[in-house]
Amino acid sequence: MGWFAAFLGTGEGSKRRCEVRRVARDFNGTGLRRRVHDLRESLAPHSKAPRCLRRRSVLRLPRPLPNASLLQTSDLRLRLRRNGDTSLVAELGRQAADHMESARRDTAESVSPTETVGITSSALYRAAWASSLGSALEYYDFALYSLASALVFAPLFFPEQDPAVGRMASFGTYFLGFAVRPVGGIVFGILGDRLGRKFALVTTISLMGAASTLIGVLPTYASVGYWAPFMLVGLRLLQGLGAGAEQAGASVLMTEYAPRTRRGFFAALPFMGIQLGTVAASLVYFVLLLRTDDVAQSWVWRLPFLLSVVIIGVAIWIRVKLKESPEFAKLKARHEVDDRPLAHLLEHSKKTVLLGIGLRLGENGGSSLYQALAVSYIVNVVGLKGSSGTLSLVCAACVGAVVVPLAGILSDRYGRVIAYRSFAIFQLLIAFPVWWVLSRGDETSSIVVMSIALGVGVWGMFGAQGAFLSELFGARHRYIGVAMAREVSAVIAGGVAPLVGAGIIAWTTNFYGDDKEAAILSWVPLAAYLSLLSVVTIVTTYYTPEPRGRDLDDPRDAVQDQ
């Protein structure tokens, strides 16, 4: 034990004891506890062994994993002031670093399919419910506003306009909700990366639900004149602010909750809420259109918006009881939460954001074109009944309810990139056939092709997207990164698409003659526009790395791993 006496040194014993105790406190894990125990046992017979190693209290080590990067700092290097044989203590430190790094890498592989570190099965499924109900509310509002823009808002809030101009003005307010979504994504994305995923999700759903409910009590143009469209625009902006981070937060939360090998499936579940919300909104309007000859001239158009208060109440109750995301909890415990996530994102993740935008163009543009413009096209241009448009959305949502989780499973099995690219290619291949069928004016075939185009092509990309975008970004700016990519693309494709489409219809009518046949011919440029968006997404997939199974604790983006 001469080496250990040299280690302690005359008059330095107290300092050495504190140093060894500090090192022992920073170490963690069952295997390492065994090594500390062996070291204690080997030194117990010697009177000069530090008391912190002779007492069993040294084994009361902290349970949370410490920051693995700390293992390589000078705090865990025993600085010896005297020469001597220090191999035992040095070996302990080396093995500690190896143990902690391997524990951080392998944690997700050692858990059962329904569990992750610190997360029980009940907590995982509660998170899935909370995320799905939030998505249901967002897309209930989304589908309501899409249908109302196509069927109701023009005569109620823009009555003095020509029907085509009024339709464009109605879709213009629809676009404003998308235009403000990047602002909401930035604001709540920053809050999500600084204060937690749970806080941001509770706030966004409250804002969205309140705005949607208030639309149900708005006075019309006939009552208050120009104040009516102004108030409609204001509430649409509030909707957009809340929606700007809702879907991003839901997908990030479920990706961070889910076990590594099933992230695609669990992250797709919040997008099931899209189907629930779309079905609910479409069914409500379908029933109203069946029972009311002119829904725009009746008060019943307000009922769907007023029903938002029920969904928001249930969703807030579930989210308040939700535990924080385990990945954010670890960041917070290690004091690694970034105080400036937006600056960090813009400095290190510009390429990842651009890739996310490219991936979303085909999906979000296709979603808006089919859910808003195609409904308006087959009802107002082709001449089908209003109920045909809403019924087609109901059928598409039923198909999507099956396709979305299936797409998540496929992304777990074959990879995010391959699954996403496959659905984008499918959307490209059917673009012209679908719009040609819609122009023919047959109700049954229109419902079938809408169900296939929206339910398989668009929502197949949705299902593969949940874990895909979340895994592309690093831990410290994941929420705002996903929100930025999603919402900027929502403006470029989702919000602009119906406005561009309405402009295409108006231009075609004026160019070829002001008659029904001329307007019907607009299906050709509409299909070409959708094909262009799909091509951009397909090309983007070839520049995007495969992120399946990445370590979500990694602060780097997936593109930086290459």
pLDDT tens for 167-177 read: 566 666 666 77
- DSSP for 150-182 reads HHTHHHHH-TTS-HHHHHHHHHHHHHHHHHTHH
Q: Stretch 153-180: mean pLDDT, rounded?
A: 66
Last residue of one domain, picked from the residues 73, 107, 141: 107
Report CA-CA distances (Å) from 258 to 114, 124, 246.
8, 7, 18
Diameter of the chain by CA atoms? 104
Last residue of one domain, picked from the residues 72, 107, 142: 107
Q: What is the pLDDT of residue 427?
A: 95
Q: Residue 459 in contact with residue 274, Cβ under 8 Å?
A: yes
Q: What is the pLDDT of residue 335?
A: 85
CA dist., res. 342 & res. 473, Å (int)? 13
Q: Are residues 102 and 135 in the same domain?
A: no
Q: Are residues 44 and 152 in the same domain?
A: no
Q: Stretch 493-518: mean pLDDT, rounded?
A: 70
CA dist., res. 490 & res. 499, Å (int)? 13
Q: Are residues 66 and 125 in the same domain?
A: no
Last residue of one domain, picked from the residues 107, 139, 166: 107
Give me the residue label for tokens 């170490």: 27
Does 123 reside within a domain?
yes
On the question of pLDDT at 234 being above 50, the answer is yes
Does 37 reside within a domain?
yes
Does 471 reside within a domain?
yes
pLDDT tens for 394-417 read: 888 889 989 999 999 999 999 999
Top mean pLDDT of 162-171, 270-279, 337-346, 536-545 is at 536-545
Domain count, the chain: 2
Distance from chain centroid for Cα 379: 33
Q: Are residues 122 and 99 in the same domain?
A: no
- DSSP for 286-297 reads HHHHHH-S-GGG
**CATH assignment at residue 216:** 1.20.1250.20
Q: Are residues 402 and 504 in the same domain?
A: yes
Q: Stretch 297-309: mean pLDDT, rounded?
A: 77
Q: Are residues 77 and 173 in the same domain?
A: no
pLDDT tens for 441-465 read: 888 999 999 999 999 999 999 899 9
Q: Stretch 353-375: mean pLDDT, rounded?
A: 88
Instruction: Note down the domain range covering 152.
Output: 118-561
Q: Residue 192 in contact with residue 405, Cβ under 8 Å?
A: no
Does 113 reside within a domain?
no
Q: Are residues 99 and 186 in the same domain?
A: no
Does 552 reside within a domain?
yes
Does 426 reside within a domain?
yes
Bin 79: left if φ > 0, else alpha if -120 < ψ < 50, else beta: beta
- What percentage of residues in the chain have a pLDDT greater than 90? 20
Q: Are residues 76 and 144 in the same domain?
A: no
How many CA within 13 A on the CB side of residue 128?
A: 19
pLDDT tens for 189-222 read: 899 999 888 888 888 888 888 888 888 888 877 7
Does 182 reside within a domain?
yes
Q: Are residues 128 and 103 in the same domain?
A: no
Q: Are residues 92 and 238 in the same domain?
A: no
Q: Are residues 223 and 165 in the same domain?
A: yes
Q: Are residues 134 and 243 in the same domain?
A: yes
